[in-house]
Amino acid sequence: MTTVRAGFGKRLQDAMAARGPLCVGIDPHPALLQAWGLDETPASLERFAMTAVEALAGEVAVLKPQSAFFEIYGSAGVAVLERVIAEARQAGALVVLDVKRGDIGSTMTAYANAYLDEHSPLAADAMTVSPYLGYGSLAPALGIAEQTGRGVIVLARTSNPEGAGLQRAVNQEERSVAQSIVDAAAESNAGADPMGYVGVVVGATLRGGELDLSALNGPILAPGLGAQGGSVQGLRAVFGSALPHVLPAAAREVLRHGPGVADLRTAAHRFRDDLVAVFNA
């Protein structure tokens, strides 16, 4: 493993300061391919994904390719994903690979090596993980991320309605499951400056005050803007004093403006400027 010069938290903060607090998902969903006049083939996947990289990698802080939409094309799709990661990072964007892996022992280690080790062709700046085999099961990923200066973003309180029953359930310590995940991430980030390498996923669709994020000291990836019901204007009400650590994520709200590179950039700039206005209010 090769250690990079700065940890993920520091690099993310710098990217957000330089390019604004916006993460754009690269989600080659069949409906978006169709909207771009493309069919569901590896060649169309590559055209879609690389157009998004060309338009956005030099403009936004973070790109977040959704691995599943590449994996469905087999080895050809994974090859496109490798290219997306490499060219996006070369253009200056951080890459969060949305894989939501969760396992134990050597299997979790293998997942972490696949997505966080410097020598892997799929190495991103951070990966998303699921803690629902226990936060302790993430130890291999946390260790590898810390060694390599990369990040781990842990599902905590997601924007999908199906997650509420589990994530809002109260444990023996009378904390919600989601809060216990946030608190565990905060322990991993203790003492980091400006913020640690362990982030959490908290949906932008939630009620304000549902979680105490004050001690997290790490990134908060906030999906759910647009089609899922979250709004840019509502971010401060949801996240309160933790807003400076929030990385709002959008995909369709930007990608639907393609396939023109200039149109995609304009949409991303507009979205980013709206976010900056809320963050600076």
At 1 the pLDDT is 55
Q: Where are the domains of the chain?
A: 8-280
Q: The tokens 């905060």 sit on which residue?
A: 186
Q: Enumerate the H helices of 91-168 as residue ranges.
A: 105-116, 139-148, 164-167
At 3 the pLDDT is 53
At 125 the pLDDT is 98
On whether the CB atoms of residues 157 and 210 are closer than 8 A, the answer is yes
In tens, the pLDDT along 69-111 reads: 999 999 999 999 999 999 999 999 999 999 999 999 999 999 9
pLDDT score of 174 more than 60: yes
DSSP 156: E
pLDDT score of 2 more than 60: no
At 5 the pLDDT is 58
In tens, the pLDDT along 204-251 reads: 999 888 999 999 999 999 998 877 778 999 999 999 999 999 999 999
pLDDT-derived band at 202, boundaries 50, 70, 90:
very high
Q: Provide the whole-model pTM.
A: 0.96
Return the minimum-mean-pLDDT range out of 11-25, 78-92, 100-114, 160-174.
Answer: 160-174
DSSP 77-98: HHHHHHHHHHHHHHTT-EEEEE
Higher pLDDT, 277 or 4: 277
Q: Enumerate the H helices of 122-174 as residue ranges.
A: 139-148, 164-167
On whether the CB atoms of residues 91 and 57 are closer than 8 A, the answer is yes
Catalytic residue IDs: 100
pLDDT-derived band at 119, boundaries 50, 70, 90:
very high
At 225 the pLDDT is 87
CA terminus-to-terminus distance, the chain: 42
Mean pLDDT of 54-79: 98
User: What dotted CATH number matches 8-280?
Assistant: 3.20.20.70
Question: Could you give the CA distance from residue 115 to residue 96 in angstroms, rounded to a whole number?
Answer: 10
Q: Identify whether 194 is preceded by a cis peptide bond (ω within 30 of 0).
A: yes
Mean pLDDT of 254-279: 97
